[in-house]
Structure 1
């Protein structure tokens, strides 16, 4: 695969954005946005596919910010008109001159309105910017550049304030230091005020000397830590220098303070920040050693899949714990997986360090994530030395496995040319009194560039969690690492990168689709399918993104979870009361056979009441991988039953080595026709249902006295099937939920499971 086939970045849905200019450096921008007049906001996922790792990080956002800075003045005013124009009156022998830039000064009313919006939201999305531009009679680019410049100005003000505080502290330290020196030169008696006898030093002087010595030691430690953290070979500053000078030159150069996004943590204390750096360095060293080690630290499992499982006793000999003492009732899961991925190291690092792009890369595994604090943004415009404090909700698509809430540090470091490492570690050991049901021991990946835009990725997952919160049906799956382990992360990464590569090709999907779809239509369909899948996962795992209320009903099966929520003026959802029912069951068939059965539109009538008793026809197909099973498709009832239904079915199917998903939702025919013509999909109402399939593991294991798994044999024993439905039971949000509605949903999910078992002769 040649280098020229891969642009440096592309969006999650992999299509060229018409409003981004083409540049000679082959840096394309892809967006999942539509071209209709109704606004829709979507954060893109960039995927770089290049082999030249010497190129520093570039992005469309950086280009826009540079252009905005060059086209705005100190009063945050946007440029309008042409930037460059040759002078026709110039002599032919002289080079063309640049015409002076014409500036557009905002009116006081416009600035006042922009400032009021900035106080509420410093990062408006595309929909908000379009609304502002229409309301203030400004160009959308002017609004965008104004907010970029305003954020830059705010950041500069914060840095100035931090520097002013540092200068004050330095002046204070310098004054104390001079006072100590003066007292040492002219010692005075504390009783009579006369010259002190040699050897007679006041108690105050002694305290000053001790404090001065402590400050010098602290400066030496900070300089050493910072040099090690940044991998710098520069000599450590001499601590004999004046303390104020050494401290003031160190702080602004090393760290960049950002606004706290959530308000939950403020990493402003230097001592706390140094402890974060200490923890990140220890975690990075442990991750690299574990990634490069083999036996006896890693033991190959005896099953056909060949997992790398951690030897607990060997680990305890080689490493010391950095996340605090192990809590009672906690067990450990640890796994390692290596493979090649069609993404280069720089692009993967950028994806992992951006919380939104990280969540889009692993849509079935991450329900919600955020960057709480940027402690360090890196060096020289790269991610080398970047340290972020993050929070994430990790999910397994089953109501029997609770969502994992983790707060952790994410540290990125470049170890060599084209070799990067990203490590995560929980911060429980730093925050006193902090406890959670899940801890991330040093986990992450080591990435090394290969030829043709590929990378070799070694992934390590090392976690401690409370096993008592997990249903017994899923405990073997978690302990072997197939649920949250390295194999699942690696399989999801490979599938998603392959999907982005396939979507980038403009010749694959249209030629295989039964109904021709335009480029804008493909983008709209993929947007709609992504929203459908995200809502499905949020309903199964009860994500905090959706406010679900759990119902306890006596006549509902114990393993069936019933939840409800009210939908009022939510774009893309029908108004009223929504019920979500989900359950997980064991099926004595392989995951692949179960996936092929549920994803086959010809066999859909055997379990789906929406098929009207007949087979379904595939009206449109968009491939998302080399395996045709990874796709987004549009289904319709057969010709016999077509006149009885006014609905189409949008379906997304996905499968990899770690599991499979089949998600679908009925949609109106007129609305879907508008989407296929490139219309805005944000307002198409849908409620998703579907299935999640995982391999069932029967494990014979040996445990030591601490409850850790030392090894064992794992055997596949069928599949774990999760079935979930979202149904509108009443179109009035103010209506009360009835027992009959709950019983109807419970009967629907039980009937579907029984039909699947009967069709597969279980």
Structure 2
């Protein structure tokens, strides 16, 4: 431990503050002179008689001390004491000077506990000392965790702890993105087990913490090896650029871990790499901050929580950070159940300068609860010049997917729905969008907005898209009612109350969604939705009026990634004060069109650079997933055709009073509305002059 701050002060300054004691008789003149003072002491003998046997000496004369002399003698005692104290202070200052020189020599040869480089020689503040002490403690913690990792060189099996009861804890931090606060369901068709809705039961006990740490460290080693390995662990496909995992080789290579695959579960494993326009520091922060993680991956992560934080890392750079989490992973459709995962996330800088973030399920702590588990999965991040990074993603899960809707089974079985490619392409696209948001200068091609309004409009569109994704999936926080119609397409209805939320209009809101399949490539359908002059053919908000684009902002390199502000020219009074905010999204795994009506007055505030958080939104939209499968002869989805899985989702305010009761008339109206939209789209895309052959060209 370093000495306190005053020990690093200037010793000469301390000497200047010490009063100096007299060292010779000349200095005693302050109290009357040296000889005179001796005489004064001698005169105290009094008037004694001379011994006749002794030699005759001159008899001292009797002298009574004056009051001034008495005062001078009384002052001598503290002066003598001060001289003694001054001598001690000189010795102390000499010791401090020697210590000061010794500490400076130590600092000159000190190394930084974070980077290992030389430390800067300077006067240290009290905060500096505390930081150094804390860094040293954290470094010891990382060394301890690394020592645990060394034990896995011999493939030591993970300890098996019993299922212990967990006391309630107040550290649970719900950082997910909810839609409407208190929710009421119309019926009880719920997907998933709902276990992450009771997070306090998932917090590991003190007894279980060693297992969590050992599992995280073991998972980190496995992730790094799987990211770098080639054949025979990974087998390249001859049909495309994808890779498949050799499960037998995997079990031989990684005998330890979370145990054998549960009965009835199937394996999904994939690996993908991409170069993204974010540096390593920002990427690591996205993964270790649950708010940023759910925001960037809003199309994949419906909600997430941090249950406990074992380590926040060293000096704020997340090296050694370890936290226990839960999350729901989704496809933007209610037809595919979400995957609940309970896991530990561990971040560590690798020896070769590459950072790694790994997740691994903790279902062994709570067995027979979750229907999906994540073997060591995550990414390696290698920083490149000019603010870019190379990300290598490994996704390895075991899942019971028997509740997936029939039309989505080929898509899920292909591994694209929840695989590494979807994670990487989403990250790549979102990094481009974030870079556009942070851009200082107005990029070429953006029209109709000023720089301040551009940033506010992008922020508003981000909230709209996040709300859409979190409202269309099969999260266990939702309760969907299935309405089966004569047409064969199931419509799912969900009712919610919007109360005291400035970002949404107050009242009763009905969410309605349905999914269907068309033998048309998703890019063709996507381009049709983006065609502004044709919008009045399908959008009920336009009411048949002409639609014009007022503002346009590119949110990525692909022209399909953009944010637009649309105006409807109509004689309808209800449309005079309404604009439409829209964001279109495209990557190799899906196409999305999300839009919401917005008030003219509120939008003018946003265009002027005002706060967009108080603009009320109820987003609707389309999810267009390439199924990669269709057989023209049988009509049954098979690999090779290039059809589209379409999800249509509306959010409609049916009553502006939150305390109102939901009526069946409102449900029927919303059901008819979404079915009418679906039939209209089928008629446009498959008939009426727009043939399948034309759409595929």
Fold equivalence (TM over 0.5): yes
Of 268, 277, 301, which residue of structure 1 is paired with 2:213?
Answer: 277
Matches within 5 A, 1:411-426: 411-426=346-361
Cα deviation digits, residues 29-51 of structure 1 (max 9, x gap): xxxxxxxxxxxxxxxxxxxxxxx
Unaligned runs of 5+ in 2: 1-111, 116-125, 152-168, 175-199, 632-637, 687-691, 693-697
Matched, 1:301 2:237: yes
Q: 1:543 to 1:645 in 2, by over 3 A?
A: farther
Aligned residue number for residue 320 of structure 1: 255
In 2, Cα distance between equivalents of 1:393 and 1:471: 18
CA–CA separation in structure 2 for the residues paired with 1:643 and 1:747: 21
- Separation in 2, partners of 1:421, 1:530: 28
Q: Tell me if 1:753 matches 2:683.
A: no
- Residues in 2 aligned to 1:224 and 1:724: alpha-carbon distance in whole angstroms: 51
**1:514 to 1:455, Cα distance in 2 relative to 1, 3 A:** closer
SS of alignment partner, residue 503 of structure 1 = helix
| 1:681 is the counterpart of 2:612 | yes
Query: CA shift at 1:671, angstroms?
Result: 1.6
Tell me the CA shift for residue 417 of structure 1.
4.4
Residue 736 of structure 1 and its aligned partner are, at CA, apart by 2.2
Give the distance between the partners of 1:525 and 1:432, measured in 2 at CA: 44
Aligned to 2:422: 488
**Larger-gyration structure (1/2):** 2
Match of 2:173 among 261, 264, 274: 261
Question: What's 2:194 paired with?
Answer: none
> Which of these residues, 283, 296, 314, is aligned with residue 361 of structure 1?
296
Distance 1:399 1:55 in 2: 50
C-alpha separation in 1, matches of 2:457 and 2:114: 34
Decide whether the 8 Å contact of 1:345 with 1:418 is kept in 2.
no
Partner of 2:481: 551
Aligned to 1:387: 322
Residue 470 of structure 2 is aligned to residue 538 of structure 1: yes
Q: Is the 8 A contact 2:337 2:475 kept in 1?
A: no
Give the Cα separation in 2 of the matches to 1:613 and 1:558: 26
Q: Once the 2 structures are TM-superposed, how far is the Cα of residue 265 of structure 1 from its aligned partner?
A: 4.9
- Cα offsets for 1:517-559 (capped at 9, x unmatched): 241x223222221221122112211546xx6443355658662
Q: Deviations over 1:660-692 (max 9, x none)?
A: 111001111112112212223222222110001
State how far apart, in whole Å, the 2-side matches of 1:642 and 1:602 are: 21
How far apart are residue 497 of structure 1 and its match?
A: 1.1
Cα distance change of structure 1 residues 464 and 611 upon mapping to structure 2, 3 Å threshold = same
Q: C-alpha displacement at 1:634, in angstroms?
A: 0.4
Give the Cα–Cα distance (whole angstroms) in 2 for the partners of residues 224 and 525 of structure 1.
47
Aligned to 1:606: 537
Residue 525 of structure 1 pairs with residue 457 of structure 2: yes
The residue aligned with 1:20 is none
SS of the residue aligned with 2:642? strand
1:332 match: 267
- CA drift of 1:277 comes to 1.9
Is residue 618–residue 634 contact of structure 1 (8 Å, CA) maintained in 2? Answer: yes
Q: Quick one: distance in 1 between partners of 2:214 and 2:575?
A: 67
State the match for 1:649 in structure 2.
Answer: 580
Aligned to 2:402, what secondary structure does the other structure show? helix
What CA distance in whole angstroms lies between the structure 2 residues aligned with 1:404 and 1:309?
Answer: 21
RMSD: 3.4
- Inter-partner Cα distance in structure 1 for 2:677 and 2:310: 50
Going from structure 1 to structure 2, the CA distance change for 1:286 and 1:699 (only over 3 Å counts) comes to: farther
Match of 1:404 among 325, 339, 348: 339
CA distance in 2, matches of 1:451, 1:471: 45
Q: Distance in 1 between matches of 2:547 and 2:319?
A: 52
Give the Cα–Cα distance (whole angstroms) in 2 for the partners of residues 536 and 226 of structure 1.
Answer: 41
Separation (CA, whole Å) in 2 of partners of 1:553 and 1:654: 29
Match for residue 592 of structure 1? Answer: 523
Give the whole-Å Cα distance in 2 for the aligned partners of 1:495 and 1:394: 18
Paired residues of 1:636 and 1:648 also in contact (CA < 8 A): yes
Is 1:473 paired with 2:407?
yes
**2:480 aligns to what SS in structure 1?**
strand
What's the offset of the Cα at 1:320?
2.1
Partner of 2:560 in structure 1? 629
CA distance in 2, matches of 1:227, 1:548: 41
Identify if the C-alpha distance between structure 1 residues 443 and 714 changes in structure 2 by more than 3 Å, giving closer, same or farther. farther
Cα offset, 1:226, TM superposition: 3.6
| Partner of residue 349, structure 1 | 284
Contact 1:491–1:657 under 8 Å retained in 2: yes
Q: Does the CA-based 8 Å contact 1:631-1:653 persist in structure 2? A: yes
Assess, with a 3 A threshold, how the Cα gap between structure 1 residues 286 and 258 changes in structure 2: closer, same or farther. farther
- Name the CA shift for 1:261/1:577 in 2 (closer, same or farther; >3 Å): closer
8 Å Cα contact 1:329/1:468 also seen in 2: no
Give the structure 1 partner of residue 32 of structure 2: none
* Matching residue within 351, 355, 369 for 1:435: 369
2:147 alignment partner in structure 1: 228
3-state SS of paired residue (1:482)? coil
| SS of equivalent residue, structure 2 residue 298 | coil
Choose which of 572, 597, 617 in structure 1 pairs with 2:503: 572
Cα gap change, 1:433/1:644 in structure 2, threshold over 3 Å: closer, same or farther?
A: closer
- In the TM superposition, residue 387 of structure 1 has moved relative to its aligned partner by 1.4
- CA–CA distance in 1 between the matches of 2:483 and 2:439? 50
**Residue 737, structure 1, aligned to residue 662, structure 2:** yes
1:512 corresponding residue in structure 2: 445
Compared with structure 1, are the counterparts of its residues 516 and 353 closer, same or farther at alpha carbon in structure 2 (3 Å cutoff)?
closer
Q: How many angstroms apart in 2 are the aligned matches of 1:543 and 1:723?
A: 17
Cα deviation digits, residues 63-122 of structure 1 (max 9, x gap): xxxxxx98xxxxxxxxxxxxxxxxxxxxxxxxxxxxxxxxxxxxxxxxxxxxxxxxxxxx
1:451 to 385, 396, 421: 385
User: 1:667 is matched with which residue: 598, 614, 618?
Assistant: 598
Q: 2 CA distance for matches of 1:732 and 1:508? A: 42
Distance of 1:604 and 1:230 partners within structure 2: 58
C-alpha deviations, 1:213-262, integer Å up to 9, x for none? xxxxxxxxx99964425889xxxxxxxxxxxxxxxxxxxxxxxx995536
Partners of 1:513 and 1:225 lie apart in 2 by 53
1:560 and 1:303 mapped to 2: Cα distance?
36
8 Å contact from structure 2 (residues 547, 566) kept in 1? yes
| Alignment TM-score, normalising by the size of structure 1 | 0.62
Instruction: State how far apart, in whole Å, the 1-side matches of 2:388 and 2:641 are.
Output: 31
CA distance in 2, matches of 1:718, 1:55: 56
Relative to the length of structure 2, the TM-score reads 0.68
Residues 641 and 554 (structure 1), Cα distance of their counterparts in 2 relative to 1, 3 Å cut: closer
Distance 1:378 1:692, change over 3 A: same
Q: 1:500 aligns with which of 413, 434, 441?
A: 434
Aligned equivalent of 2:550 = 619
Cα separation, 1, equivalents of 2:424 and 2:450 = 32
Q: Distance in 2 between matches of 1:302 and 1:638?
A: 53
1:288 aligns with 2:227: no
Contact 2:142 2:320 in 1 (8 A): no
Please state how far the C-alpha of 1:331 moved relative to its aligned partner: 1.1
Distance 1:689 1:260, change over 3 A: closer
Distance 1:635 1:223, change over 3 A: closer
